[in-house]
Amino acid sequence: MNISDKSLKYLIITISIVIPVVVTALRYLPSPELSAEATAQIRGLSKLNAIINGTTFFILIGAWFAIKNKNIGLHKKLTTVAMVLSVLFLLSYIVYHFCVPHIEYCNEYKTLYLFILISHIALSAVIVPLALYTYLRGSKMEVERHRKLAKITWPLWLYVTATGVIVYLMLDGCPPPQL
């Protein structure tokens, strides 16, 4: 089946609207009642999310080196892994935040923390359409359009993944909310 560019464009726009709406809605939905075992497992997801973010960061660095060495095949494989990891991250993030209310920051440097957190959240929403369009243009070998987009997508995506890990580390030691 050959999906038209227009349909893909609508699909990307829909995905880019639905994800932030779902993520924002999570804040207002009541958390489900869970057993102690399930609660411990769900809390472990925040570490998994940080590991996925960190791994995606290094995979994106690898994809950049691959394309600088003109290895398009490896570049494609690595960016595909980065896309798959981002989908896994999103699923894990949704499950985690559906079950666990957000943790209050409890250490020094609150202003720095808020700057990193807010820029991370804002750019996470922006990166969804950017990564999807960049991937689409790359897959279709529309090289010039892909390169133009990739020059914005790649550094922003790196920032989002790196700050995801930094936010996790900065919350270290802060008491988890009671479920």
134 belongs to the binding site for ligand HEM (CB under 6 A):
yes
Instruction: Work out the widest C-alpha separation in the chain, in whole angstroms.
Output: 55
**Least separation in angstroms between CB 90 and ligand HEM:** 15
One residue of 64, 96, 105, 113 binding ligand HEM per CB under 6 A: 64
- Residue pair 132/13 in contact by the 8 Å Cβ criterion: no
x/- mask, ligand HEM, residues 145-174, rule CB under 6 A, reads -xx--xx-xx--------------------
How many residues bind ligand HEM (CB under 6 A)? The answer is: 19
Q: Pick from 24, 104, 139, 174: which binds ligand HEM (CB under 6 A)?
A: 139
User: From the list 46, 53, 99, 138, which residue makes contact with ligand HEM (rule: CB under 6 A)?
Assistant: 138
Nearer to ligand HEM, 46 or 79 (CB): 79
Query: How far is the C-alpha of 19 from the C-alpha of 13, rounded, in Å?
Result: 10
Following DSSP, what letter does each residue of 42-70 receive, concatenated? Answer: HHHHHHHHHHHHHHHHHHHHHHHHHHHTT
